[in-house]
């Protein structure tokens, strides 16, 4: 019997944009029959990433391109670097232009030596950016399904 793929979607949101991306990802994963756990960073009890075939971490970028403290704490709580982390995030080019746009996504993806470029969404994913989320996820899953 082929065992079901398991995915974790952990995310931090203040005003809801990153949560919208997380929910789009969740919907796509479940549609594909992938067992999906959701984790609200800073709210839910600790999770063990080693229980999952793929770990998505979603975050927004904070002042001057910085990573929110809650995410830093989450990284420490995990305590090791899983080799199957894919990073997504939201940001706003009004806060420092392209240089600072979703900079925390790049930093986290680099930290985890992620196999995938981070997904960067401007504010809410609703509308034309939904396809961007789907295309990115497709790329991640093709890779995961090839080694899982």
Ligand X SMILES: Cc1cc2nc3c(=O)[nH]c(=O)nc-3n(C[C@H](O)[C@H](O)[C@H](O)COP(=O)(O)O)c2cc1C
Task: Report the interface residues with ligand X, using CB under 6 A.
Answer: 13-19, 60-65, 90-92, 95-96, 100-103, 123
> Kindly report the CA angle at 15 between 52 and 100, in degrees rounded to 5?
80
| Bridge-based pairing state of the strands 119-122 and 54-60 | unpaired
If the CB atoms of residues 99 and 113 are measured against ligand X, the closer one turns out to be: 99
Q: State the minimum distance, in angstroms, from the CB of residue 58 to ligand X.
A: 8
Identity of the residue, 103 or 107, whose beta carbon is nearer to ligand X in the bound complex? 103
Give the nearest distance from C-beta 30 to ligand X in angstroms. Answer: 21
Q: What CA–CA distance (Å, rounded) separates 67 from 19?
A: 16
**Could you tell me the smallest distance in angstroms from the CB atom of residue 148 to ligand X?**
29
Residue 49 or 58: the one with the smaller Cβ distance to ligand X is: 58
Q: Kindly state the smallest distance separating residue 122's Cβ from ligand X, in Å.
A: 8
DSSP lists the bridge partners of residue 55 as 8, 85
Q: Nearest Cα to 83, choosing from 47, 55, 57?
A: 55
Give whichever of 34 and 89 is closer to ligand X, judged by the CB atom: 89
The nearest distance, CB 51 to ligand X, in angstroms, is 25
> In this complex, which beta carbon is closest to ligand X, that of residue 95 or of residue 139?
95
Residue in the shown chain whose Cβ atom is closest to ligand X: 91
Under 8 Å between Cβ of 10 and 56 = yes
Residue 81's CB is within 10 A of a number of other CB atoms, namely 12
Euclidean distance between CA atoms 6 and 99, whole angstroms? 34
């Amino acid at each position: 019997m082929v065992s079901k793929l398991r995915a974790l979607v952990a995310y931090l949101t203040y005003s809801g944009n990153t949560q919208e991306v997380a929910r789009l990802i969740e919907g796509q994963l479940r549609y594909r029959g992938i067992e999906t756990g959701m984790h609200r960073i800073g709210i839910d009890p600790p999770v063990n990433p080693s229980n999952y075939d793929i770990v998505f971490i979603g975050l927004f970028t904070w002042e001057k391109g910085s990573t929110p403290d809650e995410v830093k704490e989450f990284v420490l709580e995990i305590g090791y670097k899983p080799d199957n982390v894919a990073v997504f995030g939201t940001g706003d080019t009004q806060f420092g232009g392209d240089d600072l746009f979703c900079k925390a996504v790049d930093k986290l993806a680099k930290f985890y030596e992620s196999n995938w470029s981070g997904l960067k969404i401007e504010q809410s994913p609703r509308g034309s950016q939904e396809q961007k989320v789907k295309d990115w996820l497709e790329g991640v899953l093709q890779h995961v399904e090839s080694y899982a």
